[in-house]
């Protein structure tokens, strides 16, 4: 193995090249990204960075010089246009590069509102890239009206920032309730109350009919309930789709993501994948994990396996979200739950998801202890009784010893 090429200079791509070097790979490493800036963290984009509480240079995962110092050929502003799996080459503008192992870490793209309902008007934004947030930031100003489309974590975080910056904020969710795809009703209720307490108007079961514009700029929205509102800007957070185009071009199997095996390898033995763009196996099902933790851990596992470790990657899902003064931490995946135990400790609160007697996941609100213990229990395959965890006076730590 002489050369490893990584496409996508995001969280997964950066983690993969770093791990290759720290694990002693001495060959050529090329990291190619279509954004103009070195790899950076995305979570602050909808939190501290948009709020103006975090400087640009703190977003970067490593200083740009680190890549050269570690003999990593970092190509920025360079989109890979095609992959030829037979020849083991890829094409960027005006150049053909060859690889022995290729890692696809192309992330995902935000869903947008269709142009025919006004999705292409100026003032309609998505939150994925630094460039998206830099473009919207000047519009997030006191006294203006923001419409947030989508009540998932991105939409809720954007709503919190817009409120904190003094905007008049309405959030609409087309499904019957916010967080319908990722959290229980108990968590949705808590988050709704939090936002309404901060003055956000939340409309559930309400979608967009169309946006209206003047001189190419959004000025209004007609909602599915026929309400007609004036808006100054729109932030769209309606989910993402995995970037699989290059993998498909290479003839690699894709099914709602690039299909990877337990080692992170695709259906082509020389092509690997990591991060948001993959479909991976978890508890016997194919899932996608849209989280920093997965991007790092899966990419590091891929690096190790390229170097011959032959280790299975077992995802240990966790996620967080910051909104106002709330730190929400989530351990595990709640998909398939049939019961939620609520542990109400006043300021610290946690929701424990069960399928039968099996603990699947914990949502912890300003409760780092509940989160940490829940995470350790889930990773150890331990399931304390729902009655015990629901008792705020029970000793959670003792559960780890049983
Ligand atoms: P990315 O980081 O998206 O990197 C992929 C890169 O590949 C991009 O730079 C893309 O432009 C590039 N690329 C794509 N195609 C090509 C091509 N053909 N040629 C060259 N380059 C290409 N996760 C959490 O765990 N907690 C959070 O609180 C959280 N908050 C988030 C907030 C926001 C606003 C966003 C957008 C995401 C958040 N996430 C959060 C999710 C997390 O950031 C992603 O799961 C993570 O970035 C995935 O890493 P990745 O490397 O797979 O993809």
Is residue 11 in a domain?
yes
The answer on 221 and 121 residing in a single domain is: yes
Q: What is residue 54's predicted lDDT score, i.e. its pLDDT?
A: 96
Q: Are 140 and 161 in contact, with CB atoms under 8 Å apart?
A: yes
Say what the pLDDT of residue 283 is.
86
Query: What are the pocket residues of ligand 1 if the criterion is a CB atom closer than 6 Å to any ligand atom?
Result: 7-13, 32-35, 42-43, 45-46, 79-80, 105-107, 127-128, 154, 243, 246, 275-277, 290-293, 295, 319-321
Protein residue with its CA nearest to atom 33 in ligand 1: 43
> Among 7, 34, 39, 42, which residue has the most ligand 1 atoms within 8 Å of its CB, making it the best to mutate?
42
Task: List, in order, residues 6 or more apart from 65 with CB less than 8 Å away.
Answer: none
Q: What is the mean pLDDT of residues 214-218?
A: 98
Quote the pTM value: 0.96
The pLDDT confidence band at residue 315, using thresholds 50, 70 and 90, is very high
Closest CA to 350 of 185, 223, 186: 186
Taking the C-alpha atoms of residue 274 and residue 296, their distance in angstroms, rounded to an integer, is 8
Ligand 1 centroid to Cα of residue 318, in Å, is 16
Q: What's the mean pLDDT in 82-106?
A: 96
Residues 122 and 212 occupy one common structural domain: yes
Report the domain count for the chain: 3
Are 342 and 197 in the same domain?
no
Q: Is residue 318 part of a domain?
A: no
What's 73's domain CATH number? 3.50.50.60
Sole residue written with tokens 């923001």: 146
Q: Which of 306, 333, 358 is the last residue of a domain?
A: 306
Answer with the one of 219, 236, 253 that is the final residue of a domain.
Answer: 236
Distance (Å) from CA 31 to ligand 1 centroid? 15
Q: Which atom of ligand 1 is nearest to the CA of 8?
A: 7
Q: Are residues 30 and 144 in the same domain?
A: no
Whether residues 8 and 100 share a domain: the answer is yes
**In a shared domain, residues 210 and 161:** yes
In a shared domain, residues 289 and 366: no
Of the residues 277, 306, 335, the one at which a domain ends: 306
Does residue 312 lie in a domain region? no
State yes or no: pLDDT of 219 exceeds 90. yes
Averaged over 380-395, what is the pLDDT?
95
Assess whether pLDDT exceeds 80 at residue 402.
no
Say if residue 299 is in the same domain as residue 284. Answer: yes
18 within some domain: yes
Q: Answer whether residue 220 shows pLDDT above 80.
A: yes
Does 314 map to a domain?
Answer: no
Average pLDDT over residues 369-385: 95
Query: Domain limits at 358?
Result: 325-401
Q: Which residue has tokens 């997964």?
A: 12
- pLDDT score of 94: 84
Paired tokens of 5: 């090429």
Query: Which residue has the CA at smallest separation from atom 18 of ligand 1?
Result: 80
Q: Is residue 315 part of a domain?
A: no
Give the DSSP H or E segment for 319: strand 318-323
Same domain, 98 and 117: no
Whether residue 401 is predicted with pLDDT greater than 90 in this model: the reply is: no
pLDDT confidence bin for 80, thresholds 50/70/90: very high
**Same-domain pairing of 119 and 205:** yes
**pLDDT at residue 39 greater than cutoff 90:** yes
Q: Are residues 136 and 210 in the same domain?
A: yes
**202 SS3 class:** strand
Assign residue 354 the CATH number of its domain. 3.30.390.30
Which residue's CA is the closest to the ligand 1 atom numbered 46? 292
Q: How far apart are CA 113 and CA 50, in angstroms?
A: 22
Number of C-alpha atoms within 13 angstroms, CB side, residue 252?
Answer: 35
The pLDDT of residue 291 is 95
Q: What is the pLDDT of residues 349-370, one digit of tens each?
A: 999 999 999 999 999 999 999 9
pLDDT above 80 for 260: yes
Is residue 138 a part of any domain in this protein?
A: yes
Instruction: Give percent of the chain with pLDDT exceeding 70.
Output: 100
**Residue 222 CB neighbour total at 10 angstroms:** 16
Average pLDDT, the chain: 97
Q: What are phi and psi of 345, to 5 degrees?
A: -105, 30
Non-local (6+) Cβ contacts of 42 within 8 A are 10, 11, 128, 292
User: Of 273, 268, 278, 274, nearest to 86 (Cα)?
Assistant: 268
The 10 Å Cβ neighbour count of residue 227 is: 13
| Contact indicator for 168, 145 with CB cutoff of 8 Å | yes
Give the closest residue to 323 by CA, choosing from 179, 221, 141, 145: 179
Render pLDDT for 190-201 as a digit per residue (tens, 0 to 9).
999 999 999 999
Residue nearest to atom 4 of ligand 1 (CA): 10
CB-based contact 134:126 (threshold 8 Å)? no
Q: Within a domain: residue 319?
A: no
């Amino acid at each position: 193995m002489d050369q490893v090429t990584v496409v996508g200079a995001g969280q997964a791509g950066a983690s993969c090249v770093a791990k290759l070097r720290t694990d002693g790979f001495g060959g050529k490493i090329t990291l190619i990204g279509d954004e103009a800036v070195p790899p950076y963290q995305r979570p602050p984009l909808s939190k501290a960075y948009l709020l103006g509480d975090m400087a640009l240079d703190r977003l970067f995962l490593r200083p740009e010089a680190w890549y050269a110092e570690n003999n990593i050929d970092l190509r920025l502003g360079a989109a890979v246009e095609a992959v030829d799996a037979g020849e083991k080459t890829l094409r960027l503008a005006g150049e053909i590069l060859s690889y022995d192992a290729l890692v696809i870490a192309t992330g995902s793209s935000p869903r947008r509102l269709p142009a025919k309902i006004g999705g292409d008007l100026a003032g309609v934004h998505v939150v994925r890239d630094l460039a998206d947030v830099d473009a919207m930031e000047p519009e997030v100003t006191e006294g203006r009206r923001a419409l947030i489309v989508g009540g998932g974590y991105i939409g809720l975080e954007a709503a919190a920032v817009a409120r904190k910056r003094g905007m008049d904020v309405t959030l609409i969710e087309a499904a019957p309730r916010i967080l319908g795809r990722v959290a229980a009703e108990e968590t949705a209720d808590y988050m709704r109350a939090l936002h309404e307490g901060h003055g956000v108007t939340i409309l559930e079961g309400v979608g967009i009919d169309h946006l209206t514009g003047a001189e190419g700029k959004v000025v209004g929205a007609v909602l599915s309930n026929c309400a007609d509102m004036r808006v100054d800007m729109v932030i769209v957070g309606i989910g993402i789709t995995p970037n699989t185009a290059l993998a498909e071009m290479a003839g690699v199997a894709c099914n709602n993501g690039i299909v990877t095996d337990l080692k992170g390898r695709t259906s082509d033995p020389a092509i690997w994948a990591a991060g948001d763009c993959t479909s991976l196996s978890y508890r016997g099902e194919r899932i996608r994990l849209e989280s920093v933790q997965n991007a790092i851990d899966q990419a590091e596992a891929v690096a190790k396996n390229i170097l011959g470790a032959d280790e299975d990657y077992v995802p240990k899902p966790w996620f967080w979200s910051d909104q106002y003064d709330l730190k929400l931490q989530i351990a595990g995946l709640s998909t398939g739950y049939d019961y939620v135990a609520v542990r109400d400790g006043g300021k610290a609160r946690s929701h424990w998801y069960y399928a039968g007697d099996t603990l699947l996941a914990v949502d912890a609100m300003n409760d780092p202890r509940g989160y940490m213990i829940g995470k350790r229990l889930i990773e150890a395959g331990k399931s304390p009784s729902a009655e015990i965890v629901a008792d705020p006076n029970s000793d959670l730590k003792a559960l780890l010893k049983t």
